[in-house]
Structure 1
Amino acid sequence: MPTTGRLVGAICFAALGLYLGYLAQTFFEEGRIPTYWWPLCGLAGAWSGWVVVGKRAGRGYSPAIGNGLTGTATLIFWILFIMSFVDMIEKSFRRSYDDPLEALVDVFQLGIEHAVRLGQMDVIVTALVGGVLAGIVTEFFGRRFA
C-alpha cells in the first residue's frame, strides 16, 4: 500500500543510489562504465527505499537509523548482484563456462571483485552517512504525513 514513508524512502534512496553511482564511476576502467549503470543505481535505490525502508517508517528515530543502514546494505547488495549476474551472462555467451554450476559460482566471485574495486573509502562513508540521513528523512515524513 502506498504511503508517504514509502514514497519519500524511494526518492531518498534513489537519489542516494545515483550519487553513489556517480562516486563509483571513477573506479571503473577507462570508459568501461556499463550502459545499465545509472538505471541500475537509481532503480535499486528506489526499490530498497520503497520496500525495505518505507515499509518500516513510523517506528521512531532510533530504528530509522538502522532502517537507513539496512536500506543502504540492500541497495549495495542488489547493485553488486545484478552487475555480477549481467557479467556472468555476457561471459556465458562467450562460452567461458563448462557447466551451469561454474557460472553460478562465478556470479559470487564477480560480486566480490566488483565490491573490492568499487568499495573505496569515500563511497563507503557516503553510503553510511547517506543511508542514515535518508532513513531519518523517511521517518520524518512517514510520521508527519501518515
Structure 2
Amino acid sequence: MPTASKLFAAFGMALVAFLSAEIFKPHMPAGTQFGAFSPLSAIIGIVCGWRILGPATGEGWWPSANAGLRASLGALALALVLFSTEEMLVQAVRKYYDTPTEAIMGLIGIAAEIVQRMVAADFLLALLGGGMLAGVLSEWAGRRWS
C-alpha cells in the first residue's frame, strides 16, 4: 500500500544511492567505464527505500534512522552483487574463465576488490549518513501525512 513515508523513503534512498555512486567513481581505476552505474544505483535505492525503509517508519526518530542504515546497507549489498556479477559476465564472454567454478571465484574476487575500494571516508559518510537522513525524512513524512 503506497504511503507518504514509503514515497519519501524511496525518493530519499534513490538520492542517497545516486550521490554515493557518484562519490564512489573516483575510487575506481582510471579508465573504468561506468555506463549506467549511477542510474542503476538510484533504482536499487528506490527498491530498498520502498521495501526496507518505508515499512519501518512510525516507530520513532531513532528507529527510523536505524532503518535508514539498514536500507543503505541493503542497497550496498544488492549493488555489490549486481555490479560484480555484471563484471564477471563481461569477463566470461571475453573467455577469461575456462570453467564455471573459475567464473564464480572470479566473481568473489571482483566483489572483494570493490569492497576494498569502498572503504573510503567520503563514500561511507555519504552512504550511511544519507541513509540515516532518509530514515528521518521518511519518519517526518509519515507523521505529517498519516
Counterpart in the other structure of 2:95 = 95
Separation (CA, whole Å) in 2 of partners of 1:140 and 1:104: 43
Separation (CA, whole Å) in 2 of partners of 1:104 and 1:78: 17
Asked if the contact 2:21–2:37 (Cα under 8 Å) also holds between the matched residues in 1, the reply is yes
1:55 aligns with 2:55: yes
Q: Which letter maps to 1:101?
A: T
Separation (CA, whole Å) in 2 of partners of 1:52 and 1:72: 9
Q: Secondary structure at the match of 2:16?
A: helix
Counterpart in the other structure of 2:130 = 130
The alpha carbon displacement at 1:98 in A equals 2.5
- Number of aligned residue pairs: give it: 146
> Structure 1, residues 62-96: CA drift from partner, whole Å, max 9, x if none?
21121011011011111211110000100110122
Counterpart in the other structure of 2:9 = 9
Separation (CA, whole Å) in 2 of partners of 1:104 and 1:6: 36
Runs of 4+ in structure 1 off by over 4 angstroms are none
Alignment of 1:65-144 (within 5 A): 65-144=65-144
TM (normalized to structure 2)?
Answer: 0.92
Separation (CA, whole Å) in 2 of partners of 1:59 and 1:106: 42
Ranges in structure 2 where 5+ consecutive residues have no aligned partner: none
Separation (CA, whole Å) in 2 of partners of 1:96 and 1:31: 20
Greater displacement, 8-17 / 124-133? 124-133
Ranges in structure 1 where 5+ consecutive residues have no aligned partner: none
Greater displacement, 74-83 / 85-94? 74-83
Separation (CA, whole Å) in 1 of partners of 2:53 and 2:66: 9
TM (normalized to structure 1)?
Answer: 0.92
